[in-house]
Amino acid sequence: MPPVLDIRFHGNLKDLLHPRHRRPGQVAYTLDRRASIKDIIESLRIPHTEIDRITAGEQDVTLAWVPEEGGRVDVFPLAAPVDPTRPTLLRPETVEAIRFLADVNVGKLATLLRMAGMDTATAPGLDDRGLAEKGAAEGRILLSRNRDLLKRGRVVHGHLVRSQDPREQLAEVLALYDLAGKTRPFSRCLRCNTLLQPVAKAAILHRLQPLTRKYYHHFHICPACRRIYWRGSHRLHMERLLATLGHTDGHH
Ligand SMILES: [Zn+2]
């Protein structure tokens, strides 16, 4: 008889398991082939990006650990506040700052993160391999609803976005990385992620619609794509949204 691993999943990792394993959060896994704990856990539907710690008996182990005997393994989720700028046993490779790369399946989340001032790249032309590579090369946290993408070995830091609602997704990400108080609404271009610069009204007057020209006096411009921003209704809407998420706007 091959040995059996008694794998116990903790916290929100249980919700990611197949429904038959979900309630107990426990899987009896038969070791009938040689595989890393990463491969074993991912075969149970949980991307490695969601895991904070793995222990075998009393010992912390890495994702590359290959179990050869039966026994108990505990798998713990990443939980707020997550700080990917500090090394851990599972992720010795850190990022310089909290910056994101958003998959196309969370496109609206990407726009909301930019509205909140978070550095959020997108790359609609890239396939999964390209996205994983870009995230790793640029030290960005990959945000996606695609588990297979996040299972890729090249992905270091990532988050499987749980909610399907963009506003809830924003709350989810801001809470996970403890970004409360770090939001800077409307400091970044929604179209291309570049930091905005103030611009004199006179310099852009020819580009403004009559009502905007009449009622607004303070403008910003994106130095990359030249899009113009002013304090319109969508901006007030965003400030209200951030306020409901418990974030204060210290920027204006
Ligand atoms: Zn722009």
Give 118-164 pLDDT, tens digit per residue: 999 999 999 999 999 999 999 999 999 999 999 999 999 999 999 99
- The CA distance from 6 to 42, in Å, is 15
Q: Where are the domains of the chain?
A: 4-77, 100-176, 197-244
Q: Say how many Å lie between the CA of residue 195 and the centre of ligand 1.
A: 8
Q: Say how many Å lie between the CA of residue 227 and the centre of ligand 1.
A: 6
C-alpha 159, offset from chain centre: 4
pLDDT band at 246 (very low <50, low <70, confident <90, very high): low
> Cβ(82)–Cβ(156) under 8 Å?
no
**Taking 90 as the threshold, does the pLDDT of residue 15 lie above it?**
yes
Q: Say how many Å lie between the CA of residue 216 and the centre of ligand 1.
A: 20
Q: Say how many Å lie between the CA of residue 110 and the centre of ligand 1.
A: 14
pLDDT in tens, 191-222: 999 999 999 999 999 999 999 999 999 999 99
Q: Say how many Å lie between the CA of residue 229 and the centre of ligand 1.
A: 10
Please provide residue 19's backbone torsions phi and psi, each rounded to the nearest 5 degrees. Answer: -50, -35
Q: Say how many Å lie between the CA of residue 188 and the centre of ligand 1.
A: 8
Q: Say how many Å lie between the CA of residue 74 and the centre of ligand 1.
A: 45
Closest listed residue to residue 174, CA positions, set 218, 132, 115, 128: 115
Would you put residue 201 in left (φ > 0), alpha (ψ -120 to 50) or beta?
Answer: alpha
Regarding pTM above 0.85, the answer is: yes
3.30.9.10, 3.10.310.30, 3.10.20.30, 3.40.30.10: CATH of 4-77: 3.10.20.30
- The CA distance from 245 to 32, in Å, is 47
What sign has the CA pseudo-torsion 15, 19, 25, 26?
A: negative
